[in-house]
């Protein structure tokens, strides 16, 4: 299943440098695939698009980055996304 994670962190130059440096050599948990990720150039935020079938790998990934606060959202396939949204709003 695909997920988006919005990660926030302190807007500190040293923290941002540490995150970027660690990310280059980071080994993802088993069954966790980083599809794409983006770091806000102004600092303080990152968006991670990943795929996994295990909640355990999500917990492991978020635990490996203690300086980040994560909000994780499942991604609904586009052909059914609107129907899923309508069911929740009615």
Of 27, 75, 86, 77, the residue nearest 51 (C-alpha):
75
Q: Is the pLDDT of residue 88 over 70?
A: no
Tell me the C-alpha distance between 39 and 6, whole Å: 10
Q: Is 59 helix (H, G, I), strand (E, B) or coil?
A: helix
Q: Is the pLDDT of residue 80 over 70?
A: no
Per the rule left: phi > 0, alpha: psi between -120 and 50, beta: everything else, 56 is: alpha
Q: Is the pLDDT of residue 89 over 70?
A: no
pLDDT tier at 16, thresholds 50, 70, 90: confident
Q: Are strands 2-8 and 69-74 parallel, antiparallel or unpaired?
A: antiparallel
pTM: 0.75
pLDDT tier at 12, thresholds 50, 70, 90: confident
Tens-digit pLDDT profile for residues 32-45:
999 999 988 777 89
The strand ranges marked E within 1-90 are 2-8, 33-39, 45-51, 69-74
Q: If you average pLDDT over every residue of the chain, what do you get?
A: 86
pLDDT tier at 15, thresholds 50, 70, 90: confident
């Amino acid at each position: 299943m695909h997920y988006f994670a919005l990660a926030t962190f302190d807007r500190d130059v040293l923290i941002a440098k540490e995150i970027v440096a660690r990310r280059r050599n980071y080994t993802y948990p088993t069954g966790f695939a980083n599809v794409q990720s983006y770091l806000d150039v102004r600092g303080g935020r990152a968006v991670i698009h990943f795929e996994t079938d295990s909640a355990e790998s999500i917990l492991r990934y978020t635990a490996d980055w203690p300086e980040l606060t994560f909000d994780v959202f499942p991604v609904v396939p586009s052909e059914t996304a609107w129907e899923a949204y309508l069911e929740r709003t009615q």
